[in-house]
Structure 1
Amino acid sequence: MNKKAKRRLVVMGGIIAIAMLVIVAIAGAGGSASSVTVADVATGSYQGKKVQASGVVVADSIEKDGARVTFDIAPEDESGAPNPSVRLRVGYEGALPATFGAGVVAICTGDVDNPPFLNCTEMVTKCPSKYESAEGSLTVKGLLDQADAMLFEDTKVCGYVEGDVNDASSAIRFTIESQGATLNVVYSGGLDEQIADGVAVVVSGHLDSDGNFVATEQPAIDASITK
């Protein structure tokens, strides 16, 4: 083998070695996240590490600043409610799932800062399905026809979701329609992912002075209603 051929092999070997080191470095940087509990992150030494933690989104902890949302997650107690004694602050920048809201289980993956703060880059939410009969509930038109008498009175209203379903950072979560009348629904909790445009729902709550319906429970799907 002549000197040029040997030199070429040495150069090619060096290039391959550098490429392998780069691949290994990239793979290491994007390695799999460690599955940990909220308490692990809150009390452990995970600064700079990539983790996946899940917990219930704590009510009144959601704050939105432009495209960035911050919120607290906490472990579930025996009833499925968040245990407020241990919390982890999470920051997420991106499109929120429509199911996101207070009380929903959020599975968050990202890097930990100190003090314990999770910079979330991937999020999955889980909200249990809820079904309820519309029997005994008012239509939107029926509610609005007696709006003065029904103001702040606990009741149920049924209708079909009309248009987009927003995440919990929006003032209006979705709009429902029945008998030609429409009503905006305010709700900050988690939603079943099946709730979307055209789906029949039953919502418990009350009419407020702004003409919105404030849901006090997770809106339910009524599969028995046909449009």
Structure 2
Amino acid sequence: MNKKAKRRLVVVGGIVVVAMLVIVAIAGSGGAASSLSISDIISGEYRGKKVQVSGSVVADSLSSEGSTASFKIQPEEDADGSSSSGDTLTVHYDGALPATFGTGVVAICTGTVESDCSLSCSELVTKCPSKYESAEGSLTVKGLLDQADSLVGDETKVCGYVRGEVLAVDAPEGYRFVLESQGETIHVIWDGGMDESVGDGTALVVSGSLNADGTFTASDQPAIDEAVSA
């Protein structure tokens, strides 16, 4: 190979290497999301940037318009009362909410900060701690319904098995799941998080109260029956 051909080969090789480095740099800068706090985002310094943020879902903040769900998150330490920063971030998520989503759940949101410092979320992951409880002292669904006249509105505990799928908190059906035991069923209403392992056939213990229409409103996260799941 003569010197001219060698120089041409070196130049072409150098161009290819530089092009590859540029492509990698662009891809890396465009795809990475900075992990920020809620206060960072609402400061206004990250408009138009791709970010990731986590926080506890604020009670009664969920609304839906078409396929877009909007809700607010706050720092986790605010949710448990150990802090009072008052910071909240509005999140818009165009997608189906997972069944684990609900009030108090830690939502990990990835998306783009809008001009009003809200977050247009493209990826949503939830963290809801598992909860186990003994069914001792609880009523079966049949036992609850047999005493319905005297138990409506009273705090009680009922146990049974989930029948069918666990619905999302914004499901049009208006309840989260059906609980069955001894051949009777009730529809359970709950706006908080659900353990991701809960599904058809899971044994649950649910604290709450029976409503006049025969539904049951949970007052705490439905717990997996520790005796059945052990």
Residues 64 and 42 (structure 1), Cα distance of their counterparts in 2 relative to 1, 3 Å cut: same
Q: Which residue of 1 aligns with 2:50?
A: 50
| 2:151 counterpart of 1:178 | no
Deviations 1:65-114 (CA, angstroms, capped at 9, x unpaired): 22211100000227735857100000111122111000000010000002
1:47 match: secondary structure: coil
**How many residues of Structure 1 are paired with residues of Structure 2 in the alignment?**
223
Q: State the identity as a percent.
A: 58
Q: Which residue of 1 aligns with 2:74?
A: 74
Distance 1:22 1:182 in 2: 61
Distance 1:177 1:129 in 2: 21
Contact 1:58 1:74 in 2 (8 A): yes
Distance 2:164 2:84 in 1: 35
Residues 79 and 111 (structure 1), Cα distance of their counterparts in 2 relative to 1, 3 Å cut: closer
Q: Which residue of 2 aligns with 1:136?
A: 137
Distance 2:44 2:216 in 1: 43
Distance 2:166 2:26 in 1: 38
Structure 2: stretches of 5+ with no match in the other structure: 1-8
Q: Which residue of 2 aligns with 1:109?
A: 110
* Equivalent position amino acid for 1:110 in 2: G
Q: Which residue of 2 aligns with 1:151?
A: 152
Q: Which residue of 2 aligns with 1:4?
A: none
Q: Which residue of 2 aligns with 1:221?
A: 224
Structure 1 residue 26, shift from structure 2 partner: 6.1
1:121 match: secondary structure: strand
Deviations 1:2-51 (CA, angstroms, capped at 9, x unpaired): xxxxxxx9xx99x979x859945861564210010011111241100011
* Equivalent position amino acid for 1:73 in 2: I
TM-score with structure 1 length normalisation? 0.86
1:77 match: secondary structure: helix
Contact 2:56 2:79 in 1 (8 A): no
Q: Which residue of 1 aligns with 2:202?
A: 199
Residues 83 and 100 (structure 1), Cα distance of their counterparts in 2 relative to 1, 3 Å cut: farther
Contact 1:161 1:199 in 2 (8 A): yes
Residues 51 and 79 (structure 1), Cα distance of their counterparts in 2 relative to 1, 3 Å cut: closer
Q: Which residue of 2 aligns with 1:86?
A: 87
Deviations 1:135-173 (CA, angstroms, capped at 9, x unpaired): 100000100111111111110000001101011112210
Distance 1:26 1:68 in 2: 30
Distance 1:58 1:139 in 2: 32
Distance 2:129 2:66 in 1: 29
* Equivalent position amino acid for 2:183 in 1: G
Q: Which residue of 1 aligns with 2:101?
A: 100
TM-score with structure 2 length normalisation? 0.85
2:77 match: secondary structure: coil
1:177 match: secondary structure: strand
Distance 1:77 1:25 in 2: 36
1:225 match: secondary structure: helix
Structure 1 residue 223, shift from structure 2 partner: 2.8
Residues 115 and 78 (structure 1), Cα distance of their counterparts in 2 relative to 1, 3 Å cut: closer
1:218 match: secondary structure: coil
